[in-house]
């Protein structure tokens, strides 16, 4: 008898282990998202149980009996109508404020976040670390450090999703989107594509490796030493002949690129635009849409000559230029 | 069932009317050229049943495939076509026309005391357009299918998919015109053809719901037509509209798609709400609680539904501020739905409640719609949506609304008005059994998917990590129960056509003009135009139910 009970308990425990209810929580925001989730689950259970109980109670209490005549009753009540309009409204306001505050906070990466680049393509994730290492369907990150991913797609829309971090963002062709997180538990976690992208969508998955800072440093420097993204960009800058116009001299045909990243630039059409990844991308691919004040709009388009990876290298290079540096690519 | 004969010939049992809309004329031509709204409603019922079977087979194969993490049945390529077929067929060719084109067509003139809809020829035309679109879609399915998902997201659909996206988009495009014509027909009918004394606030709430639905049909459907047209243009002529490689904007497609498809959710659920108001009152024999609140909440939902499309795009890369605005509007649309649930529940208070099959469906609807609606809060709320968007949580949520809500209401409505439509009763015991099987099967199928979603399993995955298997097996097991639940009614409803006891004009003792005429009604609906002197659901003056348990 004892054995049987033990067996039943063990089976139930095994079943329970096979039926997890919550994913691992391994980022700085995971817990706060889970709290909101618990609250919403509580609201759902409360109102479902309330409605179900009332219905069951009425079903039994007011079941039809032979010869029974329904008594004339009230069929409208302003008090009730107002209460069941206003109370749910108040609950909704609470949820809205709570979740929006969390969302806005989670939307903005901290200024000191480490940047890593992601290119989605059918059907793999290509990860590019600024220090040089490149990986496919795997992302190595240090624990406890804010990581900002700048992402783009080479073909269709993909979705970058790490359930354990409670973060997700669509990855679009032709533009950059970004997502950030701070992993707070070392371990290995799922990386999924969450936006249907064609035949092998369900195989566009990978792993996120959260490592201690020392392990991460060791990982970065292991393997064959490659150039950093900015160095590769510098080489490309010369190869493509960018440096013939963007010489960095005051008299050059194109504006100097030294120190412009993150700064506002005056546009010929009036107003200013901050130079960011999107700005540089447009300037390289569709220069006709970007006309910097004081310069003739003569830059040719590089659409078709540079791929997504090379674009990221060029951007990394421009970003690396300090104000005093000359931009002759060397 | 052996008691059928005795009930059939029981003394005092109602006799079958000599002439009705079903036997007034015979032959295929009399159906294909009919202008009778009742017959057109039945043509629609036949068509959507075929489409439901096609979409259901696709769903069954998907659930079978998901029994194993590596895919138990088909290649990913085929799986992608299965969920696309399931989605496109069920949304555009089953759910959108389901209640409006079948029960709506059949009941609107009967409920308002009219001879027919305002434009009977247009009504037939809209069925032909719909049937053409269905044939085109079935052709696409038969010749290799389409793999874009029902959402047709660009640039995958416009330039990358190797399947016949053009014809599938064409089918959706064509089908839309039938929605527009039906909506227009209903709006005019409800405005102009009400019987003397049938004022707006004496209308059954089903009519209010159909009116709100028709407004969305007319105002939203052109947008999906434009969207599909642009998609076809880009796919065939490579005009750069959505693909950034051609200078287009992929998010523009999503904005346009959801500008139709979110209101379309309410095209699917508003008519169900109308049906539920009729069923709850009939089986608790009570006036509806808060008539005007339910009526106006339908209109409120119809209006606000146009302003919430961006909540499908919280992680698409749209701005944070757009996210905030769409989030608050999405919470706003939840309120009128909550108001309806509370009013239906309050209607039961001090009623005289009985539990025939239609009532079981109605109560099932309230329960499942409540869960479906409340889980919508998780998705309207930005921080949780980031995690849940694109996962099985979404799948579970909208199936609670679409299947737990819309299909339960369609089944309830079909069982409620079946005696009016066919003049026959079905075996209520079997019907109640089927309702129970469907309720259990449904929950078993879709509840585990809420958990799968929070665990992070993305939707549209032909394969999945092994740790998700237990919940997937549970869900597939539920789907087989659900499938059995759907087969049972087909059997006894067909059986009842010949063998069911004669129903008589008003077997439930229900209020409403449709119950004052014979069953099945005359082609002209009423011998004499009825004159309405009381509000809807005045059950104090209702006849006693005469339904005999079979």
What tokens appear for B111 in the block?
Answer: 């409920």
Domain end call among A226, A248, A274: A226
Structural domain harbouring A285: 229-320
Determine whether the interchain pair B342/A84 forms a contact, defined as Cβ–Cβ distance below 8 Å: yes
Q: Within a domain: residue A182?
A: yes
Residues A92, A163 within the same domain: yes
Preceding amide of B264 cis, omega within 30: no
User: Are A167 and A124 found together in one domain?
Assistant: yes
| Residue whose C-alpha is closest to residue A329's, from A307, A309, A313 | A313
Surface of A (107-166) touching B: CB under 8 A: 107, 122, 155-157, 159, 161, 163-164, 166
Residues A290 and A147 occupy one common structural domain: no
| CB spacing of B351 vs A62 below 8 angstroms | yes
Kindly state whether residue A314 falls inside one of the protein's structural domains.
yes
Please state the pTM of the whole predicted model: 0.91
A36 Cβ contact partners less than 8 Å away, ≥ 6 residues apart: A95, A98, A99, A102, B381, B383, B384
CB-CB contact of B521 with B420 (8 Å)? yes
Considering the domain architecture, whether residues A300 and A217 belong to the same structural domain is answered as no
Do A165 and A195 lie in a common domain? yes
The reported pLDDT for the residue numbered A243 is 85
Structure tokens at A236: 């490309």
Q: The domain that contains A276 carries what CATH number?
A: 1.10.760.10
| A199 plus A122 within the same structural domain | yes
Between chains, do B381 and A167 touch, taking CB under 8 Å as contact?
Answer: no
Is A182 found in the same domain as A42?
Answer: yes
Instruction: Work out the pLDDT band at B17, boundaries 50, 70, 90.
Output: low
Residues of B in contact with A40 (CB under 8 A): 377-378, 381, 384
Q: Which of B327, B386, B461 sits opposite A167 (nearest CB)?
A: B386
Paired tokens of B479:
């789907």
Q: What pLDDT score was predicted for residue A324?
A: 64
Q: Would you place residue A330 in the very low, low, confident or very high pLDDT band (cuts 50, 70, 90)? A: very low
Whether the CB of A24 is below 8 Å from some CB of chain B: the reply is no
By C-alpha distance, which of B371, B443, B386, B435 is closest to B409? Answer: B435
Note whether A174 contacts B250, CB cutoff 8 Å: yes
Q: Is A118 helix (H, G, I), strand (E, B) or coil?
A: strand
User: Which of the pair, B253 or A306, is modelled with greater confidence?
Assistant: B253
Domain end residue (candidates: A168, A199, A226): A226
For chain B, the domains span 23-541
Question: CATH number of the domain that A140 lies in?
Answer: 2.60.40.420
Task: Confirm whether A311 is domain-assigned.
Answer: yes
Q: What is the mean pLDDT of residues A145-166?
A: 96
Q: What is the pLDDT of residue A14?
A: 62
Contact call for residues B440 and B481 (beta carbons, < 8 A): yes
Same domain, A40 and A29: yes
Q: Which residues pair with A180 in a beta bridge?
A: A148
- Indicate the pLDDT class of residue A253, thresholds 50, 70 and 90: confident
- Residue A14 domain-assigned (yes or no): no
What ipTM score was computed for the predicted complex, to two decimals? 0.91
Same-domain pairing of A129 and A194: yes
pLDDT the model gives residue A309: 87
Give the pLDDT band (50/70/90) at residue B6: very low
Structure tokens at B466: 């092994």
My answer on whether A243 and A203 are in the same domain is: no
DSSP state of A47: H
Q: At what angle do helices B165-192 and B120-142 cross, to 10 degrees?
A: 160
Residues of B in contact with A161 (CB under 8 A): 390, 456, 458
Residues of A in contact with B389 (CB under 8 A): 168, 194
CATH 1.20.210.10 for domain B23-541:
yes
CB contact under 8 A, B155 and A159: no
Among chain A residues, CA nearest to B474: A19
Task: Tell me the pLDDT band of A3, cut-offs 50, 70 and 90.
Answer: low
pLDDT in tens, A19-34: 778 999 999 999 999 9
Residues 284-323 of A with CB under 8 A from B: none
User: d(Cα B39, Cα B31) in Å, to the nearest integer?
Assistant: 7
- Domain count along chain A: 2
B306 vs chain A: nearest CA distance in angstroms?
Answer: 19
Q: Across residues B351-365, what is the average pLDDT?
A: 94
Q: Is A262 a member of any domain?
A: yes
Q: Which residues of A touch B146 (CB under 8 A)?
A: none
Check A19 against B287: CB less than 8 A apart.
Answer: no
Angle at A106 between CA A104 and CA A107, to 5 degrees: 65
Closest CB from A22, A70, A104 relative to B351? A70
Task: Look at residue B323 in the predicted model and tell me its pLDDT.
Answer: 94
Q: Which of B250, B345, B540 sits opposite A72 (nearest CB)?
A: B540
pLDDT-wise least confident of A12-16, B79-83, B97-101, B271-275: A12-16
Percent of chain A with pLDDT over 70: 90
Q: How much of chain B exceeds pLDDT 70, in percent?
A: 96
CB pairs below 8 Å between A and B: how many? 260
Predicted confidence (pLDDT) per residue in B133-174, tens digit: 999 999 999 999 999 999 999 999 999 999 999 999 999 999
- Is A198 found in the same domain as A107? yes
Note the pLDDT of residue A74.
65
Task: Give the count of alpha carbons within 13 A of B291, CB side only.
Answer: 19
- Nearest chain A residue to B331 by CA distance is A92
- A247 three-state secondary structure: coil
pLDDT of residue B219: 95
Residue A40 and residue A186 in one domain: yes
| Nearest Cα residue to B127 out of B207, B55, B206, B46 | B46
Q: Does A17 touch chain B (CB under 8 A)?
A: no
Q: What confidence category does residue A247 fall into, taking pLDDT thresholds of 50, 70 and 90?
A: confident
Mean predicted lDDT score pLDDT of chain A: 88
- Give the separation between CA A290 and CA A93, rounded to whole angstroms: 42
Q: What is the pLDDT of residue B4?
A: 39
């Amino acid at each position: 008898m004892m054995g049987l009970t033990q067996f039943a308990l063990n089976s139930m425990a095994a079943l329970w282990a096979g039926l997890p209810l919550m994913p691992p929580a391994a980022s700085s925001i995971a817990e706060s998202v889970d709290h909101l989730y618990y609250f919403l689950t509580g609201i759902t259970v409360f109102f479902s149980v309330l409605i179900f109980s009332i219905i069951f109670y009425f079903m039994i209490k007011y079941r039809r009996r032979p010869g029974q005549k329904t008594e004339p009753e009230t069929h409208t009540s302003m008090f009730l109508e107002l209460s069941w309009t206003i109370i749910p409204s108040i609950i909704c306001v609470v949820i809205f404020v709570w979740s929006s505050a969390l969302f806005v906070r989670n939307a903005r990466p901290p200024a000191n976040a480490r940047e890593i680049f992601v290119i989605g393509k059918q059907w793999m994730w290509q990860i590019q670390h600024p220090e040089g290492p490149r990986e496919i369907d795997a992302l190595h990150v240090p624990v406890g450090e804010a990581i900002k991913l700048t992402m783009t797609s080479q073909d269709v829309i993909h979705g970058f999703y790490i359930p354990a971090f409670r973060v997700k963002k669509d990855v679009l062709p032709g533009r950059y989107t970004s997502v950030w997180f701070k992993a707070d538990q070392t371990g290995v976690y799922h990386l999924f594509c969450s936006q249907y992208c064609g035949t092998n969508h369900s195989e566009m998955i990978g792993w996120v490796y959260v490592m201690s800072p020392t392990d991460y440093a060791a990982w970065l420097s292991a393997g064959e030493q490659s150039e950093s993204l900015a160095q590769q960009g510098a080489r490309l800058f010369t190869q493509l002949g960018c440096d013939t116009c963007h010489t960095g001299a005051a008299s050059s045909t194109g504006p100097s690129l030294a120190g412009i990243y993150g700064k506002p630039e005056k546009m010929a059409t009036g107003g200013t635009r901050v130079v960011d990844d999107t700005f540089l991308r447009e300037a390289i691919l569709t220069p006709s849409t970007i006309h910097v004040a004081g310069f003739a709009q003569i830059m040719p388009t590089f659409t078709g000559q540079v791929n997504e990876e090379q674009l990221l290298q060029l951007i990394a290079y421009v970003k690396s230029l300090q104000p005093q540096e000359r931009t002759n690519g060397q | 069932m052996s008691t059928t004969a005795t009930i059939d010939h029981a003394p005092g049992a109602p006799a079958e009317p000599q002439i009705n809309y079903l036997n007034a004329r015979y032959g295929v031509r009399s159906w294909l050229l009919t202008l009778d709204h009742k017959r057109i409603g039945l043509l629609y019922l036949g068509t959507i049943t075929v489409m439901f079977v096609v979409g259901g087979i696709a769903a069954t194969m998907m659930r079978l495939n998901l029994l194993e993490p590596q895919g138990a049945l088909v290649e990913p390529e085929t799986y992608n076509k299965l969920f696309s077929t399931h989605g496109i067929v069920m949304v555009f060719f089953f759910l959108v026309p389901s209640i409006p084109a079948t029960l709506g067509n059949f009941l609107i003139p009967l409920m308002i005391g009219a001879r027919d809809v305002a434009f009977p020829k247009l009504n037939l035309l809209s069925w032909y357009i719909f049937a053409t679109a269905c044939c085109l879609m079935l052709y696409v399915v038969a010749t290799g299918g389409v793999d874009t998902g029902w959402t047709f997201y660009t640039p995958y659909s416009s330039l990358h998919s190797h399947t016949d996206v053009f014809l599938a988009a064409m089918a959706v495009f064509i089908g839309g015109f039938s929605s527009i014509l039906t909506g227009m027909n209903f709006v005019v009918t409800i405005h102009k053809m009400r019987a003397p004394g049938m004022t707006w606030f004496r209308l059954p709430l089903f009519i209010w719901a159909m009116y709100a639905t028709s407004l969305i049909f007319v105002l939203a459907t052109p947008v999906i037509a434009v969207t599909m047209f642009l998609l076809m243009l880009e796919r065939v002529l490579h005009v750069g509209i959505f693909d950034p490689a051609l200078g287009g904007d992929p998010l523009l497609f999503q904005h346009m798609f959801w500008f139709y498809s979110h209101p379309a959710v309410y095209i699917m659920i508003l008519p169900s709400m109308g049906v539920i108001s009729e069923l709850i009152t009939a089986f608790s024999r009570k006036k509806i609680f808060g008539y005007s609140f339910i009526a106006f909440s339908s209109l409120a939902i119809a209006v606000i539904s146009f302003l919430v499309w961006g909540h499908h795009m919280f992680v698409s890369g749209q701005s944070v501020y757009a996210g905030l605005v769409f989030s608050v509007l999405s919470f706003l649309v939840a309120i009128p739905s909550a108001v309806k649930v509370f009013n239906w529940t309050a209607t039961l208070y001090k009623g005289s409640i009985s539990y025939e099959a239609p009532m079981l469906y109605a109560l099932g609807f309230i329960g499942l719609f409540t869960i479906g609606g409340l889980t919508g809060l998780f998705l309207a709320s930005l921080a949780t949506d980031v995690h849940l968007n694109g996962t099985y949580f979404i799948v579970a949520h909208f199936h609670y609304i679409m299947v737990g809500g819309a299909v339960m209401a369609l089944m309830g409505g079909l069982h409620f008005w079946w005696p009016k439509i066919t003049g026959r009763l079905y075996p209520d015991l079997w019907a109640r059994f089927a309702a129970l099987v469907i309720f259990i099967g449904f929950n078993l199928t879709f509840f585990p998917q809420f958990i799968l979603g929070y665990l992070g399993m993305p939707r549209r995955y032909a394969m999945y990590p092994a740790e998700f298997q237990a919940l997937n097996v549970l869900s597939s097991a539920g789907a087989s129960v659900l499938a059995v639940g759907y087969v049972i009614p087909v059997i006894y409803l067909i059986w009842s056509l010949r063998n069911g006891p004669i129903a008589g004009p008003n077997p439930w003792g229900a209020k409403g003009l449709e119950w004052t005429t014979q069953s099945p009604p005359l082609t002209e609906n009423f011998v004499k135009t009825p004159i309405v002197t009381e509000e809807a659901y005045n059950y104090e003056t209702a006849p006693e139910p005469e339904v005999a348990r079979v």
